[in-house]
Structure 1
Amino acid sequence: MVPQESQAEQQPVFDYLVANVSKKDSGFADDTVKGSQYNQPLLEFSGSCAGCAETSYARLITQLFGEHMYVSNATGCSSIWGGPASVSPYTVNKDSLQGPAWANSLFEDNAEHGFGMQLGQKVLREQAIEKLGAMNESEKATPEFKAAFEKFMETKENTRTNTEATKALLVEVEKAAEAGCEDAKAVLDKKEYLAKKSVWIFGGDGWAYDIGFGGLDHVLASGENVNVMVFDTEMYSNTGGQASKASNIGEVCQFAAAGKEMKKKSLAEIAMSYGYVYVAQIALGANPAQAVKCIAEAEAYPGPSLIIGYAPCELHGIAKGGMNHCQDEMKKAVKSGYWNLFSFDPAKKEAGKNPFTLTSKEGDGTYQDFLHNESRYTRLVKPFPERAEKLFAKSEEVAKERYEHLQRLVELYK
């Protein structure tokens, strides 16, 4: 830390950069790695730890859908950096001053809270569309209104294209309202709900795997069009690093001081068992193309989706480079076979294609090196060397079995 006055000369540069951060025309599609990075991030200056992986995922999602987002955020790390006292890191774009609508729920009922956000705006939108339908059937409907309404209905379930169609339709609705149409006035009362919204539920593994799992399972089973993003740090990060059902074999956490014995819960496969839930495991630093693709597919899927993102945390105690190398640690996790990248897309099944895609390869033999680069594992070596050797070997064995199982799923879903 240095005196604030000594840094004052940098303020004009900072102000210039902030004022000029906006969407740039890249020539690439928004749902590609390059294209997405030309969009203005609608998450900035968060209260996270330096190098936090969670903010990387959240920022990317705002670059893809931020202008149309509702976010229900479970209490935990993501609500602390996402809504620290008196400020919000979520912002609006420079053009239309639109950005994410964010709300923080209790730890245990976040999925239900986000579910309510989806249902509430859905009902209001359907009421407005019903009035539009009545206007379209009226003898007074102009050709311009009918054309705009048809385009709106064509794009009704597409978050990207429906916005412009909605703007064009509202121009005609305002004309009808000025002419005295009561249905048009009713539509204008709900116009903020008319464009397609992207509803997201954010939370960590303590919420998704453990305390909020019952509600999460209920919401995924509902079939409603919600998107769940799980920041998987493999422990309760916000409260000091307690073991969760996402913690892995041999990991030293609070309540698992001698190393966790049971393997990690397969939340992804629990969700896949429904058959109509989009599911993906991603690691942004390991494969950004797969991450962007899965997030875009999940949002476009007209039903529930679950994305689990591997999120290195400062409580992992990364030895080489620390959290400065967070993204590199994701690469190592995938390369060693510690974390697997895959997706399950029910829409592909309906199209006669294999819905299960396994992106990552078999571990390259660096599994033990990966474990020994993080103090959450090496803390076990000195006090319990024999136990550490046994649990680390078991962890690698389970990882190999898991990959073989995923390979079988590729064949099973063909």
Structure 2
Amino acid sequence: MLRYVVKKAFLGGEMFINISTNLKKLAKYFPENLYVVGGYVRNQILGIESGDVDLASSVNIEEVANRLKDTNFVVKVKNLKMGAISISVGRETYEYTAFRKEVYEEVGTHYPSKVVPTDKIEEDSQRRDLSINAIYYNINKDEVVDYYQGIIDLKQRLIRSIRNAEEIFSTDSERILRMVRIAGELNFKIETNTLKTAMKYAKNLEHLQGSRKLGEIEKILYCDKRYNLSKNALKRALELLNDLQIWQYFGLGVKKVKYKKVYEVEDRFLGLLIDIVDSEKPECLEEFLEEFLTKQFTIKMQEKIFDYLSGYYYALEGLANKEYFFKFYKDWAFIYPLLCGKTKRIQTKYNFFYQYIIEHGLVIATSDLAVDENDIKKNFKNIDKRSYTRILKNLLSKVFDGKLKNEKRILLAEIEKNLQNY
């Protein structure tokens, strides 16, 4: 493997790798050489905001912890299997991993089945995905080590796999979504063979955890905000997802999504979900949402998103004001901004009624009634507890309409009056 070394790291007459004083001090504990690698080096070369600092060397984490004992550097273990620790000093925190080789046995799972330590930087570089993310900066020697011509690709604004793209994407399908995100963030093109191979192995996304897929999708949805390099970044990234036909591996029947709402609303994630529903056109909204959300979200998130999207579509259907806010009053703040654009008239209609409820202090939930299930149980022992919910909803409807005052005495009298119905 050829080793490309750029001494002094110059581009356009300016040194483009800025290293903090603390990092230079840290490097003195690594006579073997300490490297910065990944996004920090890439962004420094591009002259854009640099975030997390990822470090690597041939020294195992136990030895690193031993060397930094009784110094200003604080070491915490992050992932023992991967040989990863965090090193902190003052306000700076770095992630350090010892050089390693990775072995994958299962298809597209993201996590390697085996990690093998190595003292060779070239072997460590082979586990990385894209050439622009596999550029190492040697702090000790002030030089850049570039095995895969990543600097050339940066100048050409090109995303390319570091070696056989089949190896890269067949073993870790999350890299496909990560590639799309980076292309959006940096406004880069993807090299043709890299894109074709990613499309070939997009099917392996079926084996990736839903939370990991969604984590990358959320980042893609705001890729244009990361560095503000292009107004079309989001559109290009979303179209890439369609080109890769990845949506079928999220449990959808469609291969491509028609994007519209995602461009209109502030909460792009909810906007995307609306576009997914509109593209899928399910016969039963509730059944589709329940099945789709179960595959991707935690139970708590499932319930919230189900309510927000149900509220959006019930509004489009024109559900009566009273019935609508009995269902969605607590969620209106999240539903309201979704009803923008061509649905602005619907938004205005429901919001007028929402404000009316607030201004007049109307009782909108059974929990706000002056009686509860305990009161029913205490005063009406012969009523089946399965009827409690229906009784409270009937009382709520009458209180809301102004037919009854929300007073315990009056509400209990109303229950007694209709005992034969329960």
TM-score, structure 2 as length reference: 0.22
Question: Which has the higher Rg, Structure 1 or Structure 2?
Answer: 2
Query: Which structure is higher in RCO with an 8 Å CA cutoff and minimum separation 6?
Result: 1
* TM-score of the superposed pair, with normalisation by structure 1: 0.23
